[in-house]
Amino acid sequence: MKILKADQIRSWDQYTIEHEPVASIDLMERAATKCFEWLDNNGWFVHSFSIFCGKGNNGGDGLTIARMLTVSGCKVSVYILEFGHKGTDDFQTNLARLHQYPAVDIHFIQEESNFHTLSQETVIIDALFGSGLTRPLEGFTAKLVDHINNSGCIVIAIDVPSGMSVDQSSKGNKIVKAKYTLSFQCYKLAFLVAENADFIGEVIILDIGLLPEFLGSLDTNFELVDKPIIRSIYKPRNRFAHKGNFGHAMIIAGSYGKMGAAVLAAKACLRSGVGFLTCFVPKCGYEVLQTAIPEAMVITDANSSIITKIDDDVLKYDSIGIGPGLGTASETRTAIKELLSIYKKSIVIDADALNVLSTEKSLPSLPPGSVLTPHPKEFERLFGECKNDFERIEKALNNAKLINCLIVLKGHHTFIACPNGKGYFNNTGNAGMATAGSGDVLTGMITGLLAQGYSSEDASILAVYLHGLAGDIAAKEFSKEAMIAGDIIDCLGKAFKQLET
């Protein structure tokens, strides 16, 4: 699913108006109807409504919703932000229509003294500003946002919460705090970054019938990973296949007291479908691995507690994953750098291996197509601090191109930055996955898919999606609070089964 910028969304509206064809006022009616139906289907009609409208088309949506709610018998008050100029044509048309319903209380807000006391029983609908906002709110408009946020009322935003920019950071700005955001046709970039989480609430995308052929000619940098993308990537097994068809992976992980990370990565690698797996671990991990994962082969370092030298012919492996639980001892740092100088296929680099790289004066040359899997703090140690999430996304794309590797920036909507400039946001997973070992599981999965012949891009997208999907299945079974990383691995089979339906 393509993620569009604000001007691209407006162009899609205009394309639909011209080619369906449909009048803009009727397209507004269609959008408002979808919002009205969502309110109806989710039991909101038992409440009264206070609808705050600007004088643009977002405000026109609010007026149309107000009319529909009034016709349905709901108590509605409308508050219009007044700056002494006429609204858009569609806004003015819908205001004239609303005046035909005397049951609606219509108020014009010109200054702070016009703010009305809001009962906590009322539901606020925010239709002040849509996705076209390009500057921070100030003056009494900013105070109106404070008034809404301090009311204690449930807020439902139309299109985007007022004060939020679609395409750039709004960090530190005045923004309406919505419990629900009803947006149209596609996700906006602003909905996918952590810094906006407190403002967007639950995002509901409503299909208002914009013509889909417009998207075919549209070039976008960002996509939201959905089932059609995953099904185009996923390779079901040939019934005549044997284990030799699915590659030989190596996991280099673990140190004294951190062998669990190696176990998790190895189990996840096997559950991803790899044909063979060899684990390289310190000597203290031999019995642990052989007992916990009998399906894996184990080679040990001469050192009992840490990895000091990867004494094996690494060139025979189809993929290597390195980092979980390694520690950052000087001997381990040397071993990592030696591996990077020898192995030329894609490597999955995670956790302590990333921390080792971040201590170098400059990032060493990495095998093309390697996959780095940092969380935000690890990312900043590697590539520098970021003022906001939008800057971090841009920096991830720039560095992925610079080092010719993929950067899997972990988070609620994990972002996959590709060397070709494309970026993918994941849309599976939940807060229950914020638990020790979850990243080790992802490392094992990407490593396993790479060994099976998936490209670095496809392996990263598919692994992140399945990782989140297994997490969603685990959350339903164990709860977000009680689930642990091992539960994600245990639910991978069910996640793969969903790809077949």
Rounded Cα–Cα distance for residues 106 and 83 (Å): 16
Give the residues across from 320 on adjacent strands. Answer: 250, 347
Asked if the structure places residue 330 within a domain, the reply is no
Least confident of 228-232, 239-243, 460-464: 239-243
Decide if pLDDT at 44 tops 80.
yes
Q: What confidence score (pLDDT) does residue 500 get?
A: 85
> What's the rounded mean pLDDT across residues 86-112?
95
Q: What confidence score (pLDDT) does residue 195 get?
A: 97
Confidence of residue 85 (pLDDT cuts 50, 70, 90): confident
> What's the rounded mean pLDDT across residues 180-204?
97
Query: Are 72 and 27 found together in one domain?
Result: yes
Query: Are 115 and 62 found together in one domain?
Result: yes
Decide if pLDDT at 420 tops 90.
yes
Q: What is the pTM of this model?
A: 0.95
Q: What is the CATH number of the domain that holds 394?
A: 3.40.1190.20
Query: Are 163 and 194 found together in one domain?
Result: yes
Which of 255, 266, 324 shows the shortest CA–CA distance to 292? 266
Asked if the structure places residue 288 within a domain, the reply is no
Give the number of domains in the chain: 2
Asked if the structure places residue 278 within a domain, the reply is no
Q: What confidence score (pLDDT) does residue 361 get?
A: 79
Q: What confidence score (pLDDT) does residue 84 get?
A: 81
- Expressed as residue numbers, the domain containing 114 is 6-220
Which of 412, 421, 419, 423 shows the shortest CA–CA distance to 471? 412
> If you compute the radius of gyration of the chain from its CA atoms, what whole number of angstroms results?
26
Asked if the structure places residue 431 within a domain, the reply is yes
Query: Are 43 and 13 found together in one domain?
Result: yes
Q: Is 198 exposed, middle or buried (0-12, 13-18, 19+ CB in 10 A)?
A: exposed
Asked if the structure places residue 247 within a domain, the reply is no
Asked if the structure places residue 256 within a domain, the reply is no
Decide if pLDDT at 452 tops 80.
yes
Query: Are 207 and 238 found together in one domain?
Result: no
Decide if pLDDT at 219 tops 90.
no
In the structure encoding, which two tokens stand for residue 163, read together?
A: 């004060």
DSSP per-residue codes, 380-438? HHHH---SSHHHHHHHHHHHHHHHTSEEEE-STT-EEE-TTS-EEE-----GGG-STTH
Q: Is 398 exposed, middle or buried (0-12, 13-18, 19+ CB in 10 A)?
A: middle
Least confident of 85-89, 170-174, 269-273, 359-363: 359-363
Decide if pLDDT at 501 tops 80.
no
Query: Are 188 and 231 found together in one domain?
Result: no
Rounded Cα–Cα distance for residues 285 and 259 (Å): 6
Which of 247, 257, 313 shows the shortest CA–CA distance to 280? 313
Q: What is the DSSP letter of 238?
A: P
Confidence of residue 12 (pLDDT cuts 50, 70, 90): very high
Query: Are 59 and 189 found together in one domain?
Result: yes
Query: Are 89 and 107 found together in one domain?
Result: yes
Average pLDDT value for the chain: 96
| Phi and psi, residue 351, nearest 5° | 50, -120
pLDDT tens profile 336-357: 999 999 999 999 999 999 999 9
Query: Are 236 and 181 found together in one domain?
Result: no
Q: What is the number of residues in the chain? A: 501
Instruction: Identify residue 280 by its one-letter amino acid code.
Output: F
Asked if the structure places residue 254 within a domain, the reply is no
Q: What is the DSSP letter of 2?
A: B
Q: What is the CATH number of the domain that holds 119?
A: 3.40.50.10260
Whether the Cβ atoms of residue 351 and residue 323 lie closer than 8 Å to each other = yes
3-state secondary structure (DSSP) of residue 489 = helix
Query: Are 116 and 89 found together in one domain?
Result: yes
Confidence of residue 113 (pLDDT cuts 50, 70, 90): confident
pLDDT tens profile 138-170: 999 999 999 999 999 999 999 999 999 999 999
Which of 81, 82, 54, 49 shows the shortest CA–CA distance to 65? 49
Query: Are 136 and 238 found together in one domain?
Result: no
Residue whose pair of structure tokens reads 């992802």 in the numeric block:
442
Least confident of 51-60, 209-218, 442-451: 209-218
Whether the Cβ atoms of residue 45 and residue 74 lie closer than 8 Å to each other = yes
pLDDT tens profile 232-277: 999 998 888 888 999 999 999 999 999 999 999 999 999 999 999 9
Asked if the structure places residue 71 within a domain, the reply is yes
Whether the Cβ atoms of residue 154 and residue 179 lie closer than 8 Å to each other = yes
Rounded Cα–Cα distance for residues 27 and 173 (Å): 31
Which of 493, 38, 486, 120 shows the shortest CA–CA distance to 267? 486
Decide if pLDDT at 112 tops 90.
no
Query: Are 153 and 235 found together in one domain?
Result: no
